[in-house]
């Protein structure tokens, strides 16, 4: 069982309009609504790959209830969300059908009280130590009230349980989390530059490893992934640039890395899977999903080459 943590879960709303024009009214042609937040998105992809997943974090209010009701319909996904008094946030994505571009509006999330945070920590520790937990993913932003060092604490708990842990966040939570020595961190290029001060990916990944991460997998958008691990360094690139909606593509890459870790795949195969899933997600008509046929076609053609030396 893989455990994904989404402290700032969301109910994702997607509106599709013929063309998005500021300062005008729009007729929405399609609306979709589903459970969201980075760890929930990761869980959905992992389940589609055949893995059993438990999702945890915070859920509250009418939005939280709607999220959990929809989550119950997801196969292979178990709900272990902790209740909070505040309302789970919503995210609104407006897709411009003419250009394919997406405009995202993200609410801040509920304020978590110290008592709610303490109750979550007890539940998380039990889940991390549970027999059969093979990996943990810590994903996304922190809601108000959660300590900025929250991910560092959760990483140390997973490591105490001898369960590998992946961190996918940004800013100060990422900086503190890296110092707690996660097994994998998966920043995008901007997050990596903010962490290290370097805009040169190879140098930045080396610096991130020196700061504590065992392996760094940097997402470079349409250019694929750059990985520096204890076993070596690689670049993984999609066979072509894929047009579409990038929402959820990074979460699909995380799912690819986690599934490869859980299955014991070597790093080049993990990276190929992550890139193929990410590109297939961009190409999908619904944000954050992927077509299995497209994924398999891309997977066969992902180029993985040695890139960054293992020494730092």
Q: Which residues are catalytic?
A: 251
CB-based contacts of 96, cutoff 8 Å, min separation 6: 17, 19, 20, 102, 103
**DSSP run (H or E) holding 138:** strand 135-139
The helix/strand/coil state of 52 is coil
Q: Are 6 and 39 in contact (CB under 8 A)?
A: yes
Nearest alpha carbon to residue 143 among 167, 176, 161, 120: 120
Other Cβ atoms less than 10 A from the Cβ of 113: the count is 13
Structure tokens at 199: 């805009």
Work out the burial of residue 75: count CB atoms within 10 Å of its CB; fewer than 13 is exposed, 13-18 middle, 19 or more buried. exposed
CA distance 121 to 160: 14
Other Cβ atoms less than 10 A from the Cβ of 299: the count is 19
The helix/strand/coil state of 50 is coil
Helix 201-210, helix 189-196: angle, nearest 10:
60
The radius of gyration computed from the CA coordinates of the chain, to the nearest angstrom, equals 19
Other Cβ atoms less than 10 A from the Cβ of 1: the count is 16
Helix 292-299, helix 267-283: angle, nearest 10:
140
């Amino acid at each position: 069982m893989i455990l994904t943590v989404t402290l700032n879960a969301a109910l994702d709303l997607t509106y599709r309009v013929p063309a998005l024009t500021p300062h005008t009214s729009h007729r929405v042609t399609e609306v979709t609504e589903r459970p969201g937040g980075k760890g929930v998105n990761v869980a959905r992809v992992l389940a589609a790959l055949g893995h059993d997943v438990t999702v945890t974090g915070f859920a509250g209010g009418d939005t939280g209830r709607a999220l959990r009701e929809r989550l119950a319909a997801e196969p292979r996904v178990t709900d272990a969300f902790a209740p909070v008094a505040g309302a789970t946030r919503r995210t609104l994505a407006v897709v411009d059908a003419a250009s394919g571009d997406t405009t995202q509006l993200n609410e801040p999330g509920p304020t978590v009280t110290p008592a709610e945070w303490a109750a979550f920590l007890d539940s998380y520790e039990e889940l991390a130590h549970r027999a059969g937990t093979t990996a943990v993913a810590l994903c996304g932003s922190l809601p108000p009230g959660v300590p900025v060092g929250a991910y560092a604490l959760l990483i140390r708990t997973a490591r105490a349980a001898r369960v590998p842990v992946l961190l996918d966040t940004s800013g100060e939570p990422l900086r503190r989390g890296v110092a707690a020595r996660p097994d994998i961190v998966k920043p995008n290029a901007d997050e990596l530059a903010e962490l290290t001060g370097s805009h040169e990916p190879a140098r930045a990944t080396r610096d991130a490893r020196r700061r504590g991460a065992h392996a760094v997998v940097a997402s470079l958008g349409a250019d694929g992934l750059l990985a520096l691990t204890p076993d070596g360094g690689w670049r993984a690139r999609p066979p072509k640039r894929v047009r579409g909606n990038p929402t959820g593509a990074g979460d699909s890459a995380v799912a690819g890395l986690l599934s490869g870790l859980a299955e014991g795949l070597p790093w080049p195969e993990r990276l190929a899977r992550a890139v193929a899933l990410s590109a297939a997600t961009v190409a999908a008509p619904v944000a954050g999903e992927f077509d299995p046929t497209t994924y398999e076609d891309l997977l066969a053609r992902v180029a993985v080459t040695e890139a960054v030396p293992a020494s730092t």
